[in-house]
Amino acid sequence: MSAGRRGGLADEIVAYVRGRILAGDMKPGEKVDQDAIAEALDVSRSPIREALVILGQEGLLDVTPRRGAFVASITREDVIDHYELFGLVSGRVAALAAERLSDSEISEMRLIHERFEAATGEDHSKLNNEFHRLINTAASRRTRWLLRHLERSIPAGFYAFTPGWTEQAHTGHDEIIEAITRRDADGARRAMEEHLHAAGVAAADALAERGFWEDA
Amino acid sequence: MSAGRRGGLADEIVAYVRGRILAGDMKPGEKVDQDAIAEALDVSRSPIREALVILGQEGLLDVTPRRGAFVASITREDVIDHYELFGLVSGRVAALAAERLSDSEISEMRLIHERFEAATGEDHSKLNNEFHRLINTAASRRTRWLLRHLERSIPAGFYAFTPGWTEQAHTGHDEIIEAITRRDADGARRAMEEHLHAAGVAAADALAERGFWEDA
DNA sequence: GTTTTGAATTTTGTATACAATATGTAATTC
DNA sequence: GAATTACATATTGTATACAAAATTCAAAAC
């Protein structure tokens, strides 16, 4: 982590540890050694402890006073449930979007959607974010806050947009757009819930592929 | 904070700062001075910084690197929305409870409910917790995790059970129990959503009464 | 052979120290 | 008099130091 950087070191450590966990590099139940991270990143334990607190709040670590931090034992069911909850909130937003989004905003959605279809590799994740962010315009401040948190806990952009999932995502987005264009609030809700359920399955599969649930 | 205590100091500081904010003692936008807290509680800045990170994650503080932590500008609308979201998740759990809770668990709910009616003062908050905790038995692990977080962000037990609100809460609980007894999933969902909407209004009023939104 | 006990070691939690940035203030310029 | 710059002060972020608890491991007891 060298020198030169001041401020927000904890965020980088969060990203590092989260990455290692989601890559299946650190197994559920495994202890997170503060000194090991300190040595690996060449930082002191002060920002590390702040990072562990954040990851604890996110649910990726179990932090027990005096015992330390351990990689949380997240099951496949947890991941599926998490996306289900994500879908519950996003679905409500989609319903609002069907009622409140202006026609020009819907056109913009369509444009992003078409670019998503044509895109390749890395861009899918970015365009996916843009798509959902536009819908979330219809949500209240607090709702966007909650969505941000749910997104971080089990990062959505973390699983690759594999060929199979990209296609499925495109279909899901299509149904959402159609419902919103129809001004069909309930249809938009259902479409979003189904889309995120599928995303949950995809995320769980991606984690399984990385050996996330394999024993050490 | 004296001596003798080791471990988990940050949690106490979280409670202290949260209390001061929700008591209207620290106004939205106001800067949180680390040294001031350190002096007030006679602790070093290490656990304080961890506490501020937690409160930042909860949304009660805006934490900007190198600038410090500021009391978040939470509006009345934010509080209402927050409870609406709480209701969205709790409503889904109530629907599950109507389908999955055993008859003996429902009887237990009734018992708690009756004790709530007879109770006085402090006990209301405790029995209210027991009531909701029992319903949440029907929820998945991840759902309970999310509810815990939503509960902490704007602590439910923090506003007093004033005479007026106690009565309203009792009516709400009554409707929830009736629907669950009827095994009416959708009715339970609606009853829970309405109950938590009312709770949101009560919470916002309680905060207003404490001068939470008054300018410094 | 298994269990228990008791130091030696490791690791955590908190305090303190120091460096870098941000903030406030007064002098200077227009 | 208002705006701007330069300097002094305050506050944050990170590193280091030290004390308390937990873990480890080996010797002793059963």
Q: Do residues B48 and B154 share a domain?
A: no
Cross-chain Cβ contact B65/A141 below 8 Å: no
Confidence check: pLDDT of B65 > 70: yes
Partners of B11 on chain A (C-beta within 8 Å) are 65
- Å: A110 CA to C2 C1': 71
pLDDT at A123: 84
Strand C nucleotides with an atom less than 7 Å from a protein beta carbon:
11-17, 20-23
Confidence check: pLDDT of B2 > 80: no
Q: Do residues A56 and A96 share a domain?
A: no
Q: Do residues A84 and A191 share a domain?
A: yes
Q: What is the pLDDT of residues A12-29, one digit of tens each?
A: 999 999 999 998 899 999
Q: Do residues A120 and A169 share a domain?
A: yes
pLDDT at B216: 64
Pair B90, A31: CB distance under 8 Å: no
Answer yes or no: is A174 within a domain: yes
- Say how far apart CA B102 and CA B181 lie, in whole Å: 10
Confidence check: pLDDT of A147 > 90: yes
Q: Do residues A67 and A86 share a domain?
A: no
- Take residue A28 and report the two structure tokens written for it: 């559920």
The answer to whether some atom of strand C lies closer than 7 Å to the beta carbon of A126 is no
pLDDT at B7: 77
Output B157 or A98, whichever has higher pLDDT.
Answer: A98
Q: Do residues A19 and A125 share a domain?
A: no
Q: Do residues B60 and B85 share a domain?
A: no
pLDDT at A125: 86
Q: What is the pLDDT of residues A63-97, one digit of tens each?
A: 999 999 999 999 999 999 999 999 999 999 999 99
Which range, A200-214, B95-109, B155-169, has the best average confidence (pLDDT)? Answer: B95-109
Pair A146, A89: CB distance under 8 Å: yes
Q: Domain limits at B61?
A: 9-71
Q: How many other CB atoms are there within 10 angstroms of residue B15's CB atom?
A: 12
Please name the member of B65, B141, B142 whose beta carbon is closest to the beta carbon of A8. B65
Q: Do residues B117 and B60 share a domain?
A: no
| Domain containing residue B139: CATH number | 1.20.120.530
Answer yes or no: is B27 within a domain: yes
Percent of chain B clearing pLDDT 90 (strictly above): 79
Q: Which residues of B touch A (CB under 8 A)?
A: 6-8, 10-11, 46, 49-50, 53-54, 57-59, 65-66, 75, 77-78, 81-82, 85, 88-89, 92, 140-143, 145-146, 149-150
**DSSP codes joined into one string, A90-152:** HHHHHHHHHHH--HHHHHHHHHHHHHHHH--TTHHHHHHHHHHHHHHTTS-HHHHHHHHHHHH
Domain boundary among A39, A71, A103: A71
Mean per-residue pLDDT for A141-167?
A: 85
Averaged confidence pLDDT in chain B: 92
**DSSP codes joined into one string, A45-59:** HHHHHHHHHHHHHHT
Q: What is the pLDDT of residues B188-214, one digit of tens each?
A: 999 999 999 999 999 999 999 888 898
Domain boundary among B54, B71, B88: B71
Domain boundary among B50, B71, B92: B71
| Number of compact structural domains in chain B | 2
Which range, A103-112, A145-154, B123-132, has the best average confidence (pLDDT)? Answer: A103-112
| Domain containing residue B30: CATH number | 1.10.10.10
Q: Do residues B56 and B106 share a domain?
A: no
Radius of gyration of chain A (CA): 19
Answer yes or no: is A81 within a domain: yes
- The enclosing H or E element of A35 equals helix A34-41
Pair A61, A73: CB distance under 8 Å: no
Q: Do residues A133 and A174 share a domain?
A: yes
- Take residue B174 and report the two structure tokens written for it: 């009554």
Answer yes or no: is B18 within a domain: yes
- Tokens 């998740």 identify what position? B89
Nearest to A140 by CA among B46, B79, B72, B207: B79
Nearest to B177 by CA among B127, B113, B126, B91: B113
Partners of A92 on chain B (C-beta within 8 Å) are 88
d(CA B114, nearest CA chain A) in Å = 32
Percent of chain B clearing pLDDT 70 (strictly above): 94
Confidence of residue B6 (pLDDT cuts 50, 70, 90): low
pLDDT at B153: 85
Q: Do residues B181 and B201 share a domain?
A: yes
Answer yes or no: is B135 within a domain: yes
- Say how far apart CA A127 and CA A173 lie, in whole Å: 11
Q: Do residues B87 and B45 share a domain?
A: no
Partners of A50 on chain B (C-beta within 8 Å) are 49-50, 53
- Chain A residue with minimal CA distance to B139? A81
- Residue A171 CA, chain-centre distance (Å), reads 20
Q: Which residues fall within 8 angstroms of residue A13, CB to CB, at 6 or more apart?
A: A37, A41, A43, A47, A48, A50, A51
- Say how far apart CA B192 and CA B195 lie, in whole Å: 5
Which of A41-45, A91-95, B157-161 bottoms out in mean pLDDT, i.e. has the lowest?
Answer: B157-161
Confidence check: pLDDT of B160 > 80: no
Pair A190, A216: CB distance under 8 Å: no
